[in-house]
């Protein structure tokens, strides 16, 4: 399952690495794909979405920009601390 908040974080992560380009601020294709998913979830008032509902391209983009499950529950170390 993907929550709306997780999808938003993945979009923000992707935009940080692949910002909009050009005079028309065109989104990267994967960012656009994730943003379309986000828009559909908002429109249909979904708070979660099953991974099985995603197309192959959507799933690949989600997997690329979402955090690994182990990273989602861990607190990052403080700067300068031993990891």
* CA angle in degrees (0–180, nearest 5) for 77-80-82: 60
Q: Are 51 and 59 in contact (CB under 8 A)?
A: yes
In the chain, where are the structural domains located?
Answer: 2-67
* CA angle in degrees (0–180, nearest 5) for 2-24-18: 45
Structure token digits, residue 31:
């960012």
> What percentage of the chain carries pLDDT values higher than 90?
60
pLDDT (tens digit per residue) in 59-82:
999 999 987 544 443 444 445 545
| DSSP structure string for 17-71 | HS--BTTTTBPPHHHHHHHHHHHHHHHTT-SEE-GGGS-HHHHHHHHHHSPPHHH
Verdict on whether the full-model pTM lies above 0.95: no
């Amino acid at each position: 399952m993907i929550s709306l908040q997780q999808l938003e974080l993945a979009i923000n992560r992707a935009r940080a690495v692949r910002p909009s380009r050009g005079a028309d601020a065109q989104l990267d294709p994967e960012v656009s794909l994730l943003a379309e998913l986000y828009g559909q979830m908002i429109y249909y008032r979904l708070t979660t979405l099953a991974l099985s509902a995603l197309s192959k391209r959507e799933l690949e983009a989600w997997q690329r920009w979402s955090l690994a499950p182990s990273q989602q529950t861990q607190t990052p170390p403080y700067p300068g601390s031993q990891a």
